[in-house]
């Protein structure tokens, strides 16, 4: 029971960060390996804000999210667009994007180390217990879960109820066909990329409430987000949410039953199984 | 195309080898023999840097064997290197060292088969992601295994080897990597890989077993990384998970190969030499900003020299060739011009004397 609840709480926050990557890879088709660094940047933003003002990190979302949105928009416009124009095929674009965002992730790490230092960082916010079914849990985990759930729901509704959301989903299905029905694909991709970065940073703010992190920890989150996206199926929001919970549960189970040092191994086992059994993901469409 | 038929081919090892290839082979032999004399001339710091250069050349060239033609960026070098180190460290008191070198290669190959079979059958992106976390995964498993079996986290590797000995071992391995790469390049397998790199769908329609070709090459490439681990382990003396599976190694290898250019077998070495020297400088001058600068290097290469140094050289040669007007190109042109001017100079002097 313990494992299930902690796993679900963790999965909820994972869902948010994976949703960010889903927007970037599923819609904008950019494999962004600097995604985890954006998350850590969000976490540092929250830390800096909380340490300075002692106001709830949830308020930090108000400035972290717009900042991350702007930054990712700029990254897409300045760094990614030339690669998209230069690329002859999706495969070539993937290679270029992977290398470029990889370089970008190092630059982010370098800057964060220079600003915040390389030590482990955490802060105590709402670290009081809350009782669910008679067991103790950290209140901060529950708050992070609720915040993440609210953002996920808002994002889901936005994608499914608004015209812009519809345009984004159309680009995700087929960019060239979306262009034919007069959707500005470049704009939609830039929007998806920027939004994805903002969502990921929001995930970082929420995670930072109960997680210890350091500047070079981002790559682990990049991997987890990627595994969730692949597990759930590229371009499928429902799948991402389900997969995030699966990963959260699997990690918590492995950490408490076998060894806390094996969380990445748990994620990798899931990854392996998906690749061997159902490479298109749980909800993905099988392509020819 | 026709140059292959025109050039007189001499057969050796059951292969038809053209004159150009003989020349290249001869040049390589000369370079390797010359390189072998380095430890006799230099010692100390220079030798240390040269050992790094040879080691990274072996790394980057073996990385290129798989990732060059296929465009699948493998970020797993550190995982295989660490495995080689660990096999060596674990068995050093039990079996002779040469056996361990082979065992390291076998262990690396085994892991590569598993990883390759799981990830190389689907799209390339998944492979990149998987390889990115592989070193961390193996490190976690290794730490956990040591925890469960109650051994110490670090292992000592003590055998007596001098610095020049390491150098020669690595140089020999590099030569083997080059030979294997050259042999693959002109085999059916190498041809298949180039087709895969150009267009995987076309390759499938040509009847190429793409998964098999990719797995075979990935295994060869990874085996070399493991063997390097076995060769270097005694030089480090002490092996522990955090050091052996440092993912930074994988990134450095990729960036060196990209800097040199991934379209030619001799590309990586052209990237390794400047990058190793630059990196020495950076780690001395800016020890705290290495990550940042590595990132900057990555971006510069992707945006400014996407085809690497070999790409630059070949572009320059081609442009010169166009100016010179003949396919033989620039060198011939300069040669012709200079001989003409020398001849006219001599004639003028002769007429003056008369």
Q: What mean pLDDT comes out for the span B34-45?
A: 81
Check if B305 contacts A (Cβ < 8 Å): no
**A114/B292 touch (CB, cutoff 8 Å), yes or no:** yes
* Residues above pLDDT 90, as percent of chain A: 7
Residue A128: pLDDT band with limits 50, 70, 90: low
**pLDDT recorded at residue B3:** 41
Instruction: Report helix angle B290-303 to B248-260, nearest 10.
Output: 30
Return the DSSP state at A262. G
Residue B56: pLDDT band with limits 50, 70, 90: very high
Check if B211 contacts A (Cβ < 8 Å): no
User: A19 to chain B nearest CA, in Å?
Assistant: 17
Is the separation of the CB atoms in B72 and B127 below 8 Å?
Answer: yes
Q: What mean pLDDT comes out for the span A224-247?
A: 86
Q: What mean pLDDT comes out for the span B62-91?
A: 88
- DSSP H or E run through B134: helix B124-149
Q: Output the six-digit token pair for A34.
A: 């600097």
Query: Nearest chain B Cα to A111, which residue?
Result: B292
Q: Return the higher-pLDDT residue of A122 and B171.
A: B171
Return the HEC string of B155-224: EECCCCCCHHHHHHHHHHHHHHHHHHHHHHHCCHHHHHHHHHHHCHHHHHHCCCCHHHHHHHHHHHHHHH
Residue of B79, B124, B133, B149 best to disrupt the A interface, most CBs of A under 10 A = B133
Predicted confidence (pLDDT) per residue in A195-226, tens digit? 999 999 998 888 888 888 888 788 888 888 88
Nearest alpha carbon to residue A151 among A258, A52, A20: A20
Choose the closest CB to B124 out of A94, A107, A279.
A94
Q: What mean pLDDT comes out for the span B195-207?
A: 83
pLDDT greater than 70 at residue B350: no
Q: How far apart are CA B229 and CA B76, in angstroms?
A: 13
Q: How far apart are CA A126 and CA A209, in angstroms?
A: 8
Could you tell me the CA-to-CA distances from A163 to A160, A186, B183 in Å, in that order? Answer: 8, 16, 57
**pLDDT recorded at residue B106:** 93
pLDDT greater than 90 at residue B226: yes
Could you tell me the CA-to-CA distances from B87 to A103, A224, B236, B319 in Å, in that order? Answer: 32, 29, 14, 50
- Please report the beta strands in A37-187, taking only residues with DSSP state E, as ranges in sequence order: 129-132, 135-138
**pLDDT recorded at residue B6:** 44
3-state secondary structure of B11: strand
Domain ranges of chain A: 12-231
Tracing tokens 């699997």 back to the chain, one arrives at A250
Strand partners, A264: none
Strand partners, A130: A137
Check if B297 contacts A (Cβ < 8 Å): yes
Q: Output the six-digit token pair for B104.
A: 């390291």
**pLDDT recorded at residue B331:** 56
Predicted confidence (pLDDT) per residue in B229-249, tens digit? 888 888 887 888 877 888 888
**pLDDT recorded at residue A285:** 61
Choose the closest CB to A259 out of B136, B144, B291.
B144
Q: How many CB pairs under 8 A join A and B?
A: 120
Predicted confidence (pLDDT) per residue in B72-82, tens digit? 888 889 999 99
pLDDT greater than 70 at residue B349: no
CA atoms within 13 A on the CB side of B118: 21
Residue B220: pLDDT band with limits 50, 70, 90: very high
Q: How far apart are CA B238 and CA B158, in angstroms?
A: 8
pLDDT greater than 50 at residue A123: yes
**pLDDT recorded at residue B2:** 41
Residue B1: pLDDT band with limits 50, 70, 90: very low
Parallel/antiparallel/unpaired status of strands A129-132 and B155-156: unpaired
**A268/B137 touch (CB, cutoff 8 Å), yes or no:** yes
Q: Return the higher-pLDDT residue of B327 and A156.
A: A156
Q: What mean pLDDT comes out for the span B33-57?
A: 85
Residue of B71, B137, B245, B259 best to disrupt the A interface, most CBs of A under 10 A = B137
Predicted confidence (pLDDT) per residue in B10-30, tens digit? 555 566 777 887 888 888 888
ipTM of the complex: 0.81
Is the separation of the CB atoms in B82 and B139 below 8 Å?
Answer: yes
Q: What mean pLDDT comes out for the span A36-49?
A: 88
In order of start, what are the domains of chain B with their CATH numbers?
21-289 (1.10.3470), 307-354 (no CATH)
3-state secondary structure of B153: coil
pLDDT greater than 70 at residue B8: no
């Amino acid at each position: 029971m313990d494992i299930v609840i902690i796993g679900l709480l963790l999965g909820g926050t994972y869902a948010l960060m994976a949703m960010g990557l889903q927007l970037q890879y599923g819609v904008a088709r950019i494999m962004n390996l600097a995604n985890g660094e954006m998350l850590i940047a969000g976490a540092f933003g929250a830390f800096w804000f909380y340490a300075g003002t002692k106001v709830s990190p949830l308020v930090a979302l108000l400035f972290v999210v717009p900042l991350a949105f702007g930054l990712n928009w700029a990254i897409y416009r300045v760094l990614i667009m030339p690669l998209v124009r230069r690329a002859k095929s999706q495969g070539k674009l993937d290679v270029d994007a992977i290398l470029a965002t990889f370089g970008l992730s190092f630059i982010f790490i370098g800057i964060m180390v220079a600003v915040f230092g390389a030590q482990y960082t955490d802060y105590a916010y709402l670290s009081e217990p809350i009782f669910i079914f008679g067991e103790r849990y950290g209140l901060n985990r529950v708050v992070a879960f609720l915040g993440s759930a609210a953002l996920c729901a808002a994002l889901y509704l936005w994608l499914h109820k608004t015209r812009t959301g519809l345009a984004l989903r159309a680009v995700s299905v087929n960019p060239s066909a979306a262009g034919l029905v007069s959707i500005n694909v470049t704009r939609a991709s830039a929007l998806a990329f920027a939004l994805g970065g903002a969502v990921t940073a929001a995930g970082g703010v929420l995670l930072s409430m109960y997680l210890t992190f350091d500047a070079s920890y981002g790559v682990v989150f990049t991997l987890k987000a990627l595994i969730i996206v692949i597990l759930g199926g590229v371009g499928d929001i429902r799948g991402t949410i389900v997969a995030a919970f699966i990963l959260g549960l699997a990690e918590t189970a492995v950490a408490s039953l076998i060894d806390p040092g094996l969380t990445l191994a748990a994620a990798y086992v899931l990854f392996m199984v998906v690749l061997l059994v159902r490479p298109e993901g749980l909800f993905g469409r099988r392509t020819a | 195309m026709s140059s292959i038929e025109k050039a007189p081919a001499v057969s050796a090892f059951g292969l038809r080898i053209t004159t150009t290839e003989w020349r290249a082979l001869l040049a390589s032999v000369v370079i390797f023999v010359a390189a072998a004399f380095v430890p006799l001339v230099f010692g100390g710091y220079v030798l240390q840097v040269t050992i790094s250069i040879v080691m990274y050349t072996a790394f980057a060239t073996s990385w290129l064997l798989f990732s060059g033609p296929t465009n699948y960026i493998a970020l797993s070098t550190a995982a295989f290197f660490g495995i080689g180190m660990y096999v060596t460290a674990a068995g050093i008191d039990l079996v002779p060292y040469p056996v361990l070198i082979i065992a390291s290669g076998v262990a690396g190959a085994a892991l590569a088969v598993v990883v390759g079979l799981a990830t190389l059958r689907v799209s390339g992106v998944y492979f990149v992601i998987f390889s990115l976390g592989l070193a961390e995964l193996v490190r976690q498993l290794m730490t956990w295994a040591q925890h469960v079996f109650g051994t110490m986290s670090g292992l000592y590797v003590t055998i007596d080897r001098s610095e020049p000995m390491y150098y020669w071992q690595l140089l020999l391995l590099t030569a083997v990597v080059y030979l294997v790469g050259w042999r693959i390049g002109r085999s059916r397998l190498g041809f298949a890989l180039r087709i895969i790199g150009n267009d995987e769908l076309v390759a499938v329609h040509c009847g190429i077993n793409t998964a098999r070709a990719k797995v075979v090459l990935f295994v060869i490439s990874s085996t070399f990384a493991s063997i390097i681990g076995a060769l270097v382990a005694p030089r480090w003396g002490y092996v522990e998970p955090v050091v052996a599976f440092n993912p930074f190694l994988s990134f450095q290898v990729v960036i060196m190969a990209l800097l040199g250019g991934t379209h030619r077998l001799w590309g990586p070495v052209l990237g390794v030499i400047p990058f190793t020297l630059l990196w020495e400088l950076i780690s001395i001058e800016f020890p705290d900003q290495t990550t940042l600068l590595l990132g900057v290097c990555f971006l510069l290469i992707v945006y400014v020299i996407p085809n690497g140094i070999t790409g630059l050289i070949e572009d320059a040669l081609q442009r010169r060739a166009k100016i010179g007007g003949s396919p033989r190109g620039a060198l011939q042109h300069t040669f012709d011009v200079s001989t003409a001017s020398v001849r006219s100079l001599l004639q003028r002097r002769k007429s003056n004397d008369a």
